[in-house]
Structure 1
Amino acid sequence: MPKPTSQRAAEKIAKVAARPNDLVTLWRDVTDVLAEAIPHYWEPCSYSVDPASLLITSHFQENLAEFPPECLTAEYYDDDVNQLADLARSASGITTLHDATRGDPRRSPRWHRNMKLGGDQEMIVALRNRSGEMWGAAALYREPGRPLFTSDEKELLRSLAPHLAEGTRRALLVGAATDPEGLESPGLIILNDRGDVESATPGTDRWLSELPGGDADGAALPPAVLSVATRALRTAKSRDRPGEVALARVLSRGGTWVVLHGANLLSAREHRVAVIIEPAHPARIYPLLMSAYGLTERERDVTRLTLQGFSTAQIADELVVSTHTVQQHLKSIFEKTGVRSRRDLVGKVFFTHYEPRFRDNEERVATQRPILGGPAHR
């Protein structure tokens, strides 16, 4: 008996997402699968977001080299529906423009902008991994006169989201490893099925020397690297776990936590595995906010939650303080950042620190360089 379309799509997406590819390659491969599973207009639009702030760091849509500036402005300054901030806060993690407007999308400025590009319907899903972190979003469109997206199609796209989230995260790590920006950039090692190193990105030797049992020249690979590689190779032989990725969290010699990811190179003739090594919690937004605005640690926490769309009461619950205390922190934050409202604060942080990365990533796509995540170094 042939497998249902949804099961075939899930297995294909899991395999595609497990490959240690750059983000553009991932999304081009994903596009082919989505075209078979969910009929839609033109091409999907994908976004990566910084999970610390939920602000956009890149977009990719075939044949749309530059994201319209007015759409970015509307995303962070306008009062509308179907925005990524709304999606990030939603329990379901998926929404359509028709549902958000109760069947009358003409009320939404977003719909009018989409119609100029030929898209009447819009369905967006949050790319959350199984631990709940949001790494991006994907949007599908349909032209006027087509049937509305069905509940089955929504559920299928939502079921694919965890695979796409992990694929996006891994692709950003691969991009940072192959085009590093600093000492904290991830390292990438390619091993064959005998555990021999075939290649490694610059700077990986530092990570190897930091892990227990390893050394900088690679003569002795750390046991954690070999363990993750072995587990990843083992999953390649299991048809029941397509695309499963091995993970390990290791305390470095310097006392910081490091995360290792093992992913199979499924397209290779021989069994190979890629091991990505990264800091456990880069959290680049925190030093950014401190250096740019001189925010205190508590003010940084309040800002982070504000960027994620938390209300005053929700921030108070999260930080276990009173709403009055949160309001006082917000007043101080507004004074230090030179804004007058929460929306202005989100827009200021995005257009000052994230839009440069967003536009840099567009240039990277055009010049076939890997997309990077997080705010730009300034």
Structure 2
Amino acid sequence: MKRAADLARLRTLASMGLTAEAFIPALLEALHDIIPSDRNLFDWTDAQGQLIRYYFEGTVDHEINQHYFENFHNTREAEVMPAFHDAVMGRAMVHSADQLDRPEFFRSALYNEIWRPQRLHTRTEAIVRGARGEPLGSLVLYRGPGERKFTRAEEALLAQIAPYVARGLQAPSAEFAQAEYVPRRGRRAIVCLDDAGTLVHLSPEALKILLLAHGGVTPDSAARVPQREDFPTLTALWQQHQRAAGSSPQGPMLTVDNAWGRFTFESCALKSLARGPDARAMLHVTVQHHEPMDVALRRALDGLALTPAQKEVCLLLRTGHSQAEIAALLGVSATTVADHVRKIYSRLDVHSVQELSSLILRLAA
């Protein structure tokens, strides 16, 4: 029963009309409750199996990325595991954790120079393909040192999940500029520039959020030493800061909307307490990543003790549909919808659509 509910949850997520860029982070997060893992990754590929861009849960380390793409990607990695291109273009849908569970892998340069510094120890991988069999990407689930490897049953479940990933990637999406957004806790970065406009401090998540705000994480962008000039939004803030010349205590703010979500950049000038040549002012920039409201609402509902059908009724009630309209949309009787509403109100201790909507919005925010 739980597996059916998990797959229904992914089916709904894949049908929400999200951009592929908003769908993948929501999917990777949802997978943790279905197949427990430490961190998840999705690699987008072209039809020839070449890596285009990727989204990885966790920090982006440009030094590790540079080392990997220069020395291992599609080259030395083939010494101990299928090369990326071969894995994507091969016939297998799932690459089992058993492939890497041997001494040669754990002694390899790939493991000790790329995996180990990121606390990655074992993985299972599903190749996601379109309706004509063309590769869309690679979905990888990782576990860290001391964690058990993925079981055959988990890998069989991953194979069942792959078609839903393909559906979400290929589903028509709404125009992101018209979406409603909510700030996501944990997706907040801090950047500091010195008095010459040079990047001098980045919080752990900052590089990834900056890359997403400027189009995404690619093999090239993730492997470069981060510089202000690579990020036009930071450059625009720096230029505005220079023109303001301390005339306002609060620095300029900019908002960027793209397929990954909304990014708000807020700046503030920092005055040094040091004296003499060490007294260097800095520009402090906070970047907040906002996700689509629909994703936040879905996450909030997933945390409630409701059946999948009741969660769908909640969303439809919140968007203003009457019970009769909900019955028609879901293909059930009006009596069934009324029974769902009664149970929803009882379990959540609410007494009206307005109270229900307010509760869901509070949880989402």
The two structures share one fold, judged by TM-score above 0.5: no
Q: TM-score, normalised by structure 1?
A: 0.44
Ranked by relative contact order (alpha carbons within 8 Å, sequence separation 6 or more), the top structure is 1
Q: TM-score, normalised by structure 2?
A: 0.45
Q: Higher strand proportion, which one?
A: 2
